[in-house]
Structure 1
Amino acid sequence: MSKKIRRFVHLDLKGAPPKPSFLETFFPLLTTLGVKGLLVEWEDSFPYTGDIQDIGSLGSSSASGGHYIPKEALEIMKLAKVHSLMTIPLIQTFGHMEFVLKHSKFKHLREYNISPSCICPSQEDSLNLIKEMIDQMLAFHADSEYIHIGADEVWHLGQCEKCTAKMEILKYKQHSLWLDHVVAVAQYVRNRYPNTKVMLWDDMFRNIDEAILKEYNIGELVEPMVWYYHTLDDFFSPNLWNKYCNVFPHLWGATAFKGATGSRQIMPIPYHHIQNHECWIRGLALYNDQIKNFHGLVLTGWSRYDHYATLCELLPSGIPSLCICLLTLENGKYSPEIIQSEMTSLGFILPNIHMDDTTIVPQFPGSQLYINMDWLNHFIRKYKIEIDSERFNTWFNHWQRNTKYTTPYHVNSMKSTINSLFISRLLSEIEKLEDFITSSIHDIYYEHTVEELYGTLIHPIKENLYKLNQYCLLQNEECPTKPKPID
């Protein structure tokens, strides 16, 4: 694009929702970096009330048990306003509805009984539920110019009996099923909240013909947010973008600064995200004259891939990546010298060796947790190489240790790791790591996030190391070298 691209940042609160006190330090940084607003994906962290109050993830009335309490949610909005950050609520209305449909009260609205991901568009109660969610969300975001209704990745569309029967008479089958629901939701917002525009993710549009989209007049109802998190320019093909330019008077884009390179990723891969943003800069330049109104790019930062997925990168772990990506967009390209200089002035200086360089103290929000998570990331890599390796699990796994069914050759080749001294060193390091993480995480996250992080990343490793260490001690360092006879 010939003009500067407006930048917005996605707050994914369905995983590791941060305390307002942390956002109080994070929001000023966004303003300094030229961010115009926030796309806030509340999901189950929003304090719904009345008939839908069960949507809170753990059915709790306090943030330590799941969702924010109203006072905390209001504090977040107040902080955003103080720092001149426009807020756009994101509420799922079709796919990714696990946070609602997992509850027994709403289970009957599932499109596919064994999966709570998709709501059935053929039941009247589905639209009534979504209207109530929208009403509560827009009562809370009373000044919002936009609402994002999600509608992406509707994996189980047209599975139930009602939808199957309905598709028999629909002109465009599954396309009509999806479009009819989206139009109904968008039309509800337009009629009830005439000053609020509707945006949604674009992926379900990609395989629908231009003529069908024009027939539904969808371009007058919604503004698509085109998301692409990879690095290949072929995404910006004329087939897709000419269609979008012809159908939609208004477009948005979505990049990623974290949460898009692996469902269990601990730290972002900055180079991937830099390339993703450079790809968008080049791609938008191709359609500079065709796109009527490009409203901006949202830098997404996913906290988990879906409601039931484990956590990926924590927000503090992604802040340096976010800074690099924002500066890349600001400069129109990635310039290492310029970006390094600007990041240094903002406090983005990190020690090269974890915990050993005491002369360098990073200053960005959550930097201490960033360092500790980076250390954990390196530790897990080392653990996988030494203890959770293919060789180790093939010739010295738990069953083989218990049955003493192994061979001297392979055991001897692993002597450097199969001894209590080495295992004890690993145990000592991860226990020290846990202490450091504990000292830096509680000011940022609630207890349920800490428990999940420890339960998925730290405690399983500790338990395995404890068992290995106990085994080595019981063997007096004499590991099994005599295989059982084989008939």
Structure 2
Amino acid sequence: MSSSSPFRMQLVHLDLKGAPPKVLYLAEIFPLFHALGANGILIEYEDMFPYEGPLQLLKARHAYSPSEIKEILHLARLHELEVIPLVQTFGHMEFVLKHEKFSHLREVELFPNALNPHKEESLALVYYLGEGEMSKQWLQQEQNSMVKLCLTQMKAVASQVLIHNPNVKPIVWDDMLRGISEECLTESGIAQLVEPMIWDYIEDMDVHGKVLLMDKYRKCGFPKLWVASAFKGATGVNQSLTIIGHHLKNNIQWLKVADNGPAEMLQGIVLTGWQRYDHFSVLCELLPVGIPSLAVCLQALKHGGYTDNVKKIVEKYLGMSNLEINSFMSESSGTFPGSDVFTLITQISFHLRRSVDELLERNRYVTGWFSPYHRKRKMIHPVMIQHIQPDVISLLTRWNAVIQELQAALERIFYPDAVEEWLEENTHPTIQKLQQLLQDLDAAIAAQS
């Protein structure tokens, strides 16, 4: 690790609750992670873990097998990547609480995202906190509060981890901690049990505010701190292309925080790469699409900034001739693992809908002689068929070929359900418009015969 980096650890977050990669692909990208400056991975297994016994129903259809988990851990060790598992204990518990068997552990009966902290079974599994009936009754007691509810559950979970793994120190996202007073945090004793992870993914992050927050945690007795930036998955719930410039600015802001904060406390930074905003939302940028952004951010962190020299290093690792951070690089390609997916998704995202809309809404023959009115009544001037039909067939043939190529590339990296979901969300609606136009044209031609 370069001495320019203030972060001892630089971890890449793998969010497996959406489009989890096959182990074969992880074997290809772990060496790249290491080369780019990462020395750890934060794995959010969620339903991809091979649960057994009472928890077996939590497994996804294509969950990793025990031997695959061992292989992932072996690959990580091979490439000097420390593995930290990310386990949900409060919120984001949809993959558990959506099942009828565990629905009684919901904090609010209707919502499968938050766990009821009052039930002993909840610990065994290890936003709406305080809104369940049990919590409301508990909170009505004079000595109780939301702060106490949060800290009590956090201490219970951390204590369970430490009892079974004395050498492991739990890391907690600091959402709930940051609003708690110094006095309450200090008196709770939570600082002896966990290490907070301060997170923020925006590009114009309040550096001074984050430094003050770090100082607050120092005063409360926390010996170590972590921070979390993002390299993808933080700019739109259905984002398909990664805005590199946004994530670079975010990570540069974290460098400023590190330069001004208590350096002796800082353990490392996690570059998050969310794959869904939650268990039920659509997919955002697929991992191969975010690799150029990850490369830029890791190298900027490693070298203390992003310069022309750093840009050249990144381009060399990615096999790209010209890396643009303020555009989506519509014509760019590369040689990094998954670069074919990156190139094809960029092509589809930029041109598929645009080219179809151009035909449907701005082609004078379609808008003038085969409008929705004509299509409904199967009316068309015979001479217009030759002006419309070849263009529709040509466009449909071209895009079907691109989509088939992308499908093959995706199937090499992802499991069938992820491939199906991405294509249905991002290509089928537009392709179906073309197919419907062709069907209506055939119907109109048939009506004339």
TM tier relative to shorter chain = 0.7 to 0.9
What residue is the counterpart of 1:246 in the other structure?
219
Instruction: Give, as a single letter, the amino acid of the residue that structure 2 aligns with 1:258.
Output: K
Check if 1:76 corresponds to 2:47.
no
- CA 1:206/1:18 → structure 2, altered by over 3 Å: closer, same or farther? same
- CA 1:428/1:292 → structure 2, altered by over 3 Å: closer, same or farther? same
Instruction: Give, as a single letter, the amino acid of the residue that structure 2 aligns with 1:107.
Output: S
- CA 1:315/1:73 → structure 2, altered by over 3 Å: closer, same or farther? same
- What SS is found at the alignment partner of 1:122? coil
- What SS is found at the alignment partner of 2:412? coil
- Counterpart-to-counterpart distance in 2, 1:349 and 1:233: 30
- Unaligned 5+ segments in structure 1 are 58-64, 131-154, 390-394, 406-414, 477-487
The alpha-carbon deviation at position 273 of structure 1 amounts to 0.7
What residue is the counterpart of 1:96 in the other structure?
92
- CA 1:192/1:272 → structure 2, altered by over 3 Å: closer, same or farther? same
The alpha-carbon deviation at position 49 of structure 1 amounts to 0.5
Instruction: Pick one of 245, 252, 261 that aligns with 1:271.
Output: 245
Residues 367-399 of structure 1 deviation map (CA, whole Å, 9 limit, x = unaligned): 11111111121124515864898xxxxx99xx9
- CA 1:300/1:370 → structure 2, altered by over 3 Å: closer, same or farther? same
- Counterpart-to-counterpart distance in 2, 1:388 and 1:76: 48
- CA 1:441/1:233 → structure 2, altered by over 3 Å: closer, same or farther? closer
What residue is the counterpart of 2:409 in the other structure?
440
- Counterpart-to-counterpart distance in 1, 2:183 and 2:4: 30
Instruction: Give, as a single letter, the amino acid of the residue that structure 2 aligns with 1:249.
Output: P
What residue is the counterpart of 2:320 in the other structure?
349
What residue is the counterpart of 1:192 in the other structure?
164
Check if 1:370 corresponds to 2:339.
no
Instruction: Pick one of 418, 425, 440 that aligns with 1:471.
Output: 440
- Counterpart-to-counterpart distance in 2, 1:24 and 1:457: 27
- Counterpart-to-counterpart distance in 2, 1:126 and 1:202: 21
What residue is the counterpart of 1:15 in the other structure?
18
Instruction: Pick one of 104, 122, 135 that aligns with 2:118.
Output: 122
The alpha-carbon deviation at position 110 of structure 1 amounts to 0.7
The alpha-carbon deviation at position 471 of structure 1 amounts to 2.7
Check if 1:324 corresponds to 2:327.
no
- Counterpart-to-counterpart distance in 1, 2:339 and 2:106: 42
The alpha-carbon deviation at position 444 of structure 1 amounts to 0.8
Instruction: Pick one of 235, 244, 259 that aligns with 2:233.
Output: 259
- Counterpart-to-counterpart distance in 2, 1:92 and 1:383: 43
- Unaligned 5+ segments in structure 2 are 362-366, 378-383
The alpha-carbon deviation at position 176 of structure 1 amounts to 1.6
- CA 1:107/1:379 → structure 2, altered by over 3 Å: closer, same or farther? same
What residue is the counterpart of 2:45 in the other structure?
42
- Counterpart-to-counterpart distance in 2, 1:160 and 1:233: 34
- Counterpart-to-counterpart distance in 2, 1:168 and 1:439: 58
- What SS is found at the alignment partner of 1:443? helix
2:4–2:304 CA contact under 8 A, matched in 1 = no
TM-score by length of 2: 0.86
- Counterpart-to-counterpart distance in 1, 2:35 and 2:44: 23
Check if 1:460 corresponds to 2:429.
yes
- Counterpart-to-counterpart distance in 2, 1:403 and 1:3: 63
What residue is the counterpart of 2:257 in the other structure?
283
The alpha-carbon deviation at position 108 of structure 1 amounts to 0.7
> For structure 1, which segment, 454-463 or 70-79, has the greater mean C-alpha deviation from structure 2 after superposition?
454-463
2:106–2:114 CA contact under 8 A, matched in 1 = yes
The alpha-carbon deviation at position 345 of structure 1 amounts to 2.3
Residues 160-199 of structure 1 deviation map (CA, whole Å, 9 limit, x = unaligned): 2111101112645222211111110001112221111100
What residue is the counterpart of 2:63 in the other structure?
67
The alpha-carbon deviation at position 224 of structure 1 amounts to 0.9
TM-score by length of 1: 0.80
The alpha-carbon deviation at position 82 of structure 1 amounts to 1.1
2:155–2:193 CA contact under 8 A, matched in 1 = yes
The alpha-carbon deviation at position 473 of structure 1 amounts to 4.6
Instruction: Pick one of 311, 332, 335 that aligns with 2:283.
Output: 311
The alpha-carbon deviation at position 304 of structure 1 amounts to 0.8
- CA 1:233/1:101 → structure 2, altered by over 3 Å: closer, same or farther? closer
Check if 1:109 corresponds to 2:105.
yes
The alpha-carbon deviation at position 241 of structure 1 amounts to 3.3
Instruction: Give, as a single letter, the amino acid of the residue that structure 1 aligns with 2:12.
Output: V
The alpha-carbon deviation at position 449 of structure 1 amounts to 1.2
- Counterpart-to-counterpart distance in 2, 1:231 and 1:349: 25
What residue is the counterpart of 1:55 in the other structure?
58
Instruction: Give, as a single letter, the amino acid of the residue that structure 2 aligns with 1:32.
Output: A
1:170–1:176 CA contact under 8 A, matched in 2 = no
What residue is the counterpart of 1:174 in the other structure?
146
Q: Which has the higher helix share?
A: 2
- Counterpart-to-counterpart distance in 2, 1:402 and 1:91: 57
Alignment of 1:374-453 (within 5 A): 374-380=346-352, 382=354, 386=358, 419-453=388-422
What residue is the counterpart of 1:220 in the other structure?
192
- What SS is found at the alignment partner of 1:298? strand
- Counterpart-to-counterpart distance in 2, 1:171 and 1:387: 68
- CA 1:468/1:3 → structure 2, altered by over 3 Å: closer, same or farther? closer
> For structure 1, which segment, 309-318 or 425-434, has the greater mean C-alpha deviation from structure 2 after superposition?
425-434
Residues 77-125 of structure 1 deviation map (CA, whole Å, 9 limit, x = unaligned): 1111111111001110110000001111101111111110001011122
1:102–1:116 CA contact under 8 A, matched in 2 = yes
- CA 1:383/1:121 → structure 2, altered by over 3 Å: closer, same or farther? farther
- CA 1:163/1:372 → structure 2, altered by over 3 Å: closer, same or farther? same
The alpha-carbon deviation at position 42 of structure 1 amounts to 0.2
Instruction: Give, as a single letter, the amino acid of the residue that structure 1 aligns with 2:311.
Output: Q
The alpha-carbon deviation at position 272 of structure 1 amounts to 0.5
- What SS is found at the alignment partner of 1:249? coil
1:245–1:291 CA contact under 8 A, matched in 2 = no
- Counterpart-to-counterpart distance in 2, 1:178 and 1:373: 42
2:34–2:79 CA contact under 8 A, matched in 1 = yes
2:94–2:114 CA contact under 8 A, matched in 1 = yes
Q: How many residues align?
A: 423
- CA 1:401/1:256 → structure 2, altered by over 3 Å: closer, same or farther? farther
The alpha-carbon deviation at position 434 of structure 1 amounts to 1.1
> For structure 1, which segment, 192-201 or 453-462, has the greater mean C-alpha deviation from structure 2 after superposition?
453-462
